[in-house]
Structure formats: structure tokens, C-alpha cells
Amino acid sequence: MAGALPAGLSLTSIGQIFGTPTGSGTSTATIAVSDSAAHPVTATRKVKLTVLKAAPLEILTNSVPNGTENVSYEAQLFADGGAGPYSWTLTRGKLPSGLGLDPSGFIVGDPVAFGTFNITVQVTDIETPKPVSVKRTLTLIVEPPG
């Protein structure tokens, strides 16, 4: 093969282009294939591959369900666009004691305090050459037991 496939892609021995592109842009490569005859015949073809830029990263979660003090809680945060996988962090505010935000986007635990908690979450993708981050403010209400 002459030229180069987009970063993150490779050509398998059976002629498949395989992988996950790590950036956007256009690449040109010349690919050759040969048969297995005693006097092999080779054919070449120039291919042009365009990898489109991913849709902009956005947080899809607009709200999280209410919880109850001392009752197991789980809420999943969702994002779309950008280049996954994503990593989630808490950038402002505090979750109630007993809850934590997992990097995969789950708020989990057993809240040991009730009240209203305003938090800002951030999701970061792996876009190259520079990861993209977006933030969203959410309100988590933990109610006293029943």
C-alpha cells in the first residue's frame, strides 16, 4: 500500500479497512491485491477516504431523578457527539454525602443527607488533537425518608 489511511484505520490481509478513525480529514492510498496463481496478477486501485468530523459533543441529560435519604440511588448521565469514550467529572457543587460520580457517567451510592444539591458536571471526549469538554448544571433533590 502506498500513501496512508486515516489515523486509526488499517488494511487487513483480506482487504478490509478496519478500525476507528481518530481524527477527521481526507487521505489517499493506493491499494494492491494479488492472486495466488503461479504467475500472480496484481491489480492496484487508488482510494480516497474522507472521515467526517464528529457531531459536536453535547450532554443529553437535562435532569436527574430525585432520591431518598438512606435509599440506594443510581442515575446515568448521557452525552452524544464528539469522539468517545467519554469521561465525566464534577466541576462545581457537591453531591450529598454517600453519592459519587463515576467517570463513566453514573451517579451512584446511598445518600445520607437530604436537601437540594446544585452540581455542574463535565463530559470530556477523546477528540484529537485536543479533547473537547462541555458542562451542564443539574439539580439533585434528595428527600427525607417517608
> DSSP string spanning 47-71?
EEEEEPPPPPPEE-------EETTS
Give residue 101's domain range: 58-143
- Predicted pLDDT at 23: 74
Same domain, 47 and 63: no
**Residue 1's pLDDT band (cuts 50, 70, 90):** low
**Angstrom distance (rounded) from CA 12 to CA 27:** 17
Same domain, 47 and 85: no
Q: Are 29 and 1 in contact (CB under 8 A)?
A: yes
- Asked whether the CA dihedral 53, 57, 58, 64 is positive or negative, the reply is positive
Same domain, 89 and 136: yes
Same domain, 63 and 127: yes
Q: By three-state DSSP, how is residue 87 classified? A: strand
How many distinct structural domains can be found in the chain?
2
Same domain, 42 and 102: no
pTM of the model: 0.69
Same domain, 80 and 108: yes
Same domain, 46 and 102: no
The pLDDT tens digits of the residues spanning 15-39 come to: 888 887 877 788 888 888 888 889 9
